[in-house]
Amino acid sequence: METLRSADPVRLGGYRVVGRLGRGGMGVVYLAENRAGDQVAIKLIHADLAADPEFSGRFRSEVERARQVPPFCTAEFIDADLDHDPPYLVTEYVNGPSLEEVVTEQGPLKGGALHSLAVGVATALTGIHGAGVIHRDLKPDNVLLPPGSPKVIDFGIARPFEATSHHTQTDVLVGTVPYMAPERFSEDPRTSVTAASDVFAWGCVIAYAGTGSTPFLGDSASSTAGRILTQPPRLDGLPESLRGPIALALAKHPEDRPSARDLLAMLVGEKAVPGARGNHRVLAGVLAGVLGLTAATGGYLLLRPDAEASAKSSTRAPTSGVSAGQPPASSAAQLVAPALPRDPAAATKPSTSQATPTITPRVSAPTSLPERRPDTVGPGALNPGGRNLALNSLASASSLETGQWSAAAAVDGDPLTRWSSGYSDPQWLALDLGRVWQLNEIVVHWENAYATSYRVQVSTDGTRWASVFSTTNGQGGTVTVDARKRPGRYVRVFCTERSNQYGDSIYELEVR
């Protein structure tokens, strides 16, 4: 708590203000006492924002959400005065640090403490979603750790399931980028933000709690967003029992993520993790973590490295967190999901309109990626039959096309469907072949004249890429690349220049 400043109020309604707890984008949070001497937290909106309809709407939404959410999930709603100048919200004072403070001061959580956090936040989300509310800004700052169970706070940009207004300007992206689901970056007004976006944020929060780094961390907000849209999460350093649920939560498509209730069932061993070798039962670890909450700091979860170690962890080289020999069924959140349903009638759509994406990312993908030779992993599995290893593989791209122009449409064997990118640099189409193979040839079936400069690349781990073909004068059509028996699990067509202001368009990508 900080001492009050000269401009701070000393009373708000029937509450005596005694100190500052923090300051955010919408207002200042104060510690106060009611007439009985009980401590409460009061969020007072910034005076210069009180007359702004945008922020006023968001604050009223926060008050309404706080009324709806069960108190075991969050700081309990006590009072509000929306007619005060400026308005304020009164909630229970939660006497505990935030997860961000815990990890910053004492390092990543381990063992039972990490499992109990995962269960506690999943439990809170189950209650929040059960009340018909989507939080939309779940992050370590908004997870408080009092003795007992975690509490999720700050419903400033939350909304009910049925809401149509986002309480955000059309040109403003509201949220915290490292914890935002891919669909949150869409500018298409038809793109719905559902409770699945909170589940994605849960995966990012728990990964951060266990490693000290978010799973898609880049060197800027735009590169982080690009990784969220296109790259598999980095899950190295997390216990095996949590990797499965977190990977499922971080699926690129919202419909591929479990609900908060299903997450909770997986975490306490009541439901198997799809694709896992076994059903890891972590209930014993959870109970051990809860019982251990009274240690060292009066009942709070604490841990994190010093500032120097923290800086190193925040800039570490990306790793895939995926075993090279792991089958596709267990890589739930890697290079995106199965093919989306296609509209047969759309197959005759003119090519001039195919470059306009159904969903366009608001931020650019990373402008460069390392191109080092993959680590030696042996020759890879042979493919003596010469079958197309790309057929129906997991596919992803740096644009969020859908329907017959999605990434998956370029590996479905249907010549009438294709992946088409938006007209922005760079763009790529990537696939996961499920294991390391000895690659002989890669065939790219381009739509004519829609590819000028591109590279065909191979990787064993999904993070370090080696080019097997490069051109700055591509003309479209069918291009066959000699892969020179290089080992690889991931194959990518990485494009840097288009012609005629159209995006890239690939009918089919074959790997043999």
Residue 429 phi/psi, 5-degree rounding, is: -120, 130
Token readout for 303 is: 């841990």
CA dihedral angle for residue 255, residue 258, residue 261, residue 265, rounded to 10 degrees: 160
The packing angle between helices 240-249 and 196-211, to 10°, is 150
CB 488 within 8 A of CB 437: yes
Four-residue CA torsion sign, 181, 275, 405, 371: positive
Cis peptide before 426 (omega within 30 of 0): yes
Q: Kindly give, in sequence order, each residue whose CB lies less than 8 Å from that of residue 44, ignoring residues fewer than 6 positions away.
A: 9, 12, 27, 28, 29, 30, 86, 87, 88
Q: What gap in Å lies between CA 98 and CA 171, rounded to an integer?
A: 30
Active-site residue flag, 52: no
The answer to whether 430 and 456 have CB atoms below 8 angstroms apart is no
Dihedral (CA of 365, 366, 368, 369) sign = negative
Q: What is the DSSP string of 78-142?
A: EEEESSSSS-EEEEE---S-BHHHHHHHH----HHHHHHHHHHHHHHHHHHHHTTEE-S---GGG
**Distance from the first to the final alpha carbon of the chain:** 63
Which of the residues 8, 38, 79, 137 is marked catalytic? 137
Return d(Cα 16, Cα 232) in angstroms, integer.
Answer: 50
Q: How far apart are CA 100 and CA 210, in angstroms?
A: 12
Q: What is the DSSP letter of 440?
A: E
- At 29, list the tokens: 């949070």
Dihedral angle sign, alpha carbons of residues 340, 346, 348, 354: negative
Residues known to be catalytic: 137
